[in-house]
Structure 1
Amino acid sequence: MPAATTPPAAGRRTLAVLLLIPVVAALALSIFAWPAARLAPRDLPVGVAGPAAAADAVARGLERHEGAFEIHRYADAGAARAAIEDRDVYGAVVVTPGGTELLTASAASPVVAGLLREAVTAQAPAGAPVRVTDVVAAPAGDPRGAVLGASLLPLALVGAATGAATVLLGLRGAGAVATLVGAAALAGLVGAALADSWLGALTGDWWAEAGVLGLTVLAIGAAFAGLATLLGKPGFGLGAALTILFGNAFSGMSSAPELLPTGVGALGQWLPPGAGGSALRSVSAFEGAAAGRPLLVLSLWAVAGLAATAFGARRRPAEAVPAAAQAPVPVG
């Protein structure tokens, strides 16, 4: 019979848990709270249009905020509006004989739209009001983007749960792949039904939204399953860190990637939650503009995860064969 755990050993394990929990809590809170506490524009793409002299003056005013804005010049309001609709810039300042107009896109980020309104209004001459036009407005069902921002964590949890269940239930090969793909497709359909049909937080093509939601869940679930299949228990921890912890904290969905600390927003766009959120914004409000890169990122995670799951499923049975069974049988 195995020896009973001695009181000193039990005490050491209890102490280890008591010391580890505060560290984990501090780490998790820091990862989520630190980016939120350091929100500020960093190379935020903004357009300027109008007569050269007037546009230069506006650009110089924005450039006083060192490193805050990345200025793009456009010939007129039509070109600036098209750039916003293509998601090349978050907004644009248009100088006309009748005054200054600020074009925004609250569907891209209500936080950025408000920030631009404050920045442009503050530098406008006294007594010269700035007319604001929301070129791509946020849906009436989600004017502050709260629903869209809050949707990432449930997607990450669903994907992680699917990946974990696939591994823990011992599914292998084609069965594991079919489970991951099927569960993701169903999650995408349910997500679109809730966020679009019921809440009105998404207003684009219904099937495109369902596809992006499903691909996001698949990328997360496949990555989770693939890491757990290849690495075992450490793979569960790494998968949770990438898809739930860092993936959500660095996604920029509640603000914008360009408002997060330098490097954090860019990293978040290479993780499934950030890529999924960006793709969902594109298909929901911008008719798919700028969706190519995030969809590619999601596809790479999904393919790599599915391949790792299938590869690990083929390799494990071979590794599990006892050495005695592989030894040559003596003759005679």
Structure 2
Amino acid sequence: MSTPPNRRAVAVVLLIPLVVTLALWAFAWPAARIAPRDLPVGVAGAAPAADRLQQGFEQREGAFEVHRFDDEAAARAAIEDRVVYGAVVAGPEGPHVLTATAASPVVAQLLREAVTAAAPDGAQVQVTDVVAAPVGDPRGSALGASMLPLALAGMGAGAAVFMLGLRGARAALTLTGAAALVGLAATAVAHSWLGVITGDWWTEAGVLGLTVLAIGSAVAGLTALFGPRGLGVGALLMILLGNSFSGVTSAPHLLPEPVGAIGQWLPPGAGGSLLRSVAFFDGGAAGGPALTLALWSALGLAAVLVAGRQRTTAAPAGDQAPGSP
């Protein structure tokens, strides 16, 4: 029996405010609670000056995770390998702040302000940007804005496969081909035209394509398993939570716990971190995000293939005449 029109109207009236409230929570709450949480930073130099710097960070309990280095060269190497977001070197003329705006302009500014505020009166704070953001995107805003279109592209690919009734290997090939083309097109725009990313062109295209494939195959897999309800679950995971929890516009370590960690387990967050690694850090710390994207892609495609095979196997049985053995 179909639902009466009045009941459907009431459901819509109640559902829209609920969805808007959920969206505001997912996007506005993390942004309003940005603060360092176990943020990896480095301290280098000789004691006791370096000890005082470390104690200054540790006074803010739970805010920073301090790594000690013997000298400035070791601290620079750690920044380039994405072990820490930045470092402070204790020197005879005052603290020397090493930042990486390519990793996070927000963290770089936070580190500069924190060291400057704690420096003794009259001390000069020197700042060096070890891995600078590209000229085409000095504030990182364009890179941060790129994740939503990729999430929408993956969501659209997964939904299209379901709506067009594609199954099995045909669905998997469609998702892979669409993701590859999106990766090429997005790299042409972001790298060749805008100059937002500056790493190896084909590696960046592969990362962008893998991000779209992870999202698209996850959505297609959910719809293959659960039907139309899978689209809702996919939109919740990939668009609402995945994009808002990604930390691409700030940094995962600045988001409330456990939001930052959850965001890195979802394709938009993992894709943003992997893109930064290959675009600016020669692949430093790329293993974890790459594995996350590969797992989402593999699980989603496996669900598509298994569901397609089950439907193919069930079809001949459904075609038998009633009463036949």
In structure 2, the partner of 1:114 is 109
**Secondary structure at 1:158's aligned position in 2?**
helix
Change (3 A) 1:323 1:206: closer
Offset of 1:19 from its aligned partner?
A: 1.1
In structure 1, the partner of 2:218 is 223
Pick aligned residue for 1:281 from 276, 282, 297? 276
Pick aligned residue for 2:191 from 190, 196, 199? 196
Pick aligned residue for 2:63 from 50, 68, 91? 68
For residues 230-241 of structure 1, the aligned pairs below 5 Å read: 230-241=225-236
In structure 1, the partner of 2:77 is 82
**Secondary structure at 1:144's aligned position in 2?**
coil
In structure 1, the partner of 2:240 is 245
- TM-score, structure 2 normalization: 0.97
For residues 51-200 of structure 1, the aligned pairs below 5 Å read: 51-200=46-195
CA contact (8 A) 2:247 2:255 kept: yes
In structure 2, the partner of 1:213 is 208
Q: Distance in 2 between matches of 1:174 and 1:323?
A: 22
- TM-score, structure 1 normalization: 0.95
In structure 2, the partner of 1:313 is 308
Partner deviation per Cα, 1:33-83 (whole Å, 9 max, x = no partner): 110010000000000000121111001111111211000000000000000
Pick aligned residue for 2:251 from 250, 256, 281? 256
User: What fraction of aligned residue pairs are identical, expressed as a percent?
Assistant: 65
Q: Distance in 2 between matches of 1:314 and 1:150?
A: 38
Q: Distance in 1 between matches of 2:15 and 2:42?
A: 48
Offset of 1:281 from its aligned partner?
A: 0.2
Offset of 1:322 from its aligned partner?
A: 6.5
In structure 2, the partner of 1:22 is 17
- Segment drifting more, 19-28 vs 318-327: 318-327
Gaps of 5+ in 1: none
For 2:286, give the aligned amino acid: A
Pick aligned residue for 1:265 from 260, 271, 292? 260
In structure 1, the partner of 2:26 is 31
Offset of 1:97 from its aligned partner?
A: 1.8
**Secondary structure at 2:90's aligned position in 1?**
strand
Q: Distance in 1 between matches of 2:105 and 2:121?
A: 26
Change (3 A) 1:287 1:37: same
CA contact (8 A) 2:93 2:123 kept: no
In structure 2, the partner of 1:298 is 293
Q: Distance in 1 between matches of 2:25 and 2:293?
A: 26
Which structure has the larger Rg?
Answer: 1
Offset of 1:319 from its aligned partner?
A: 4.2
**Secondary structure at 2:120's aligned position in 1?**
coil
Q: Distance in 1 between matches of 2:227 and 2:250?
A: 35
Q: Distance in 2 between matches of 1:328 and 1:126?
A: 94
Offset of 1:99 from its aligned partner?
A: 2.0
Offset of 1:190 from its aligned partner?
A: 0.4
For 1:35, give the aligned amino acid: P
Q: Distance in 2 between matches of 1:72 and 1:192?
A: 35
Offset of 1:320 from its aligned partner?
A: 5.3
- Segment drifting more, 114-123 vs 319-328: 319-328
Q: Distance in 1 between matches of 2:223 and 2:319?
A: 28
**Secondary structure at 2:65's aligned position in 1?**
strand
Q: Distance in 1 between matches of 2:10 and 2:282?
A: 55
Change (3 A) 1:323 1:195: closer
Structure 1 residue runs of 4 or more that deviate by more than 2 Å after TM superposition: 316-330
CA contact (8 A) 2:187 2:201 kept: yes
For 1:294, give the aligned amino acid: P
For 1:39, give the aligned amino acid: I
For 2:295, give the aligned amino acid: L
Q: Distance in 2 between matches of 1:68 and 1:147?
A: 27
Offset of 1:327 from its aligned partner?
A: 6.3
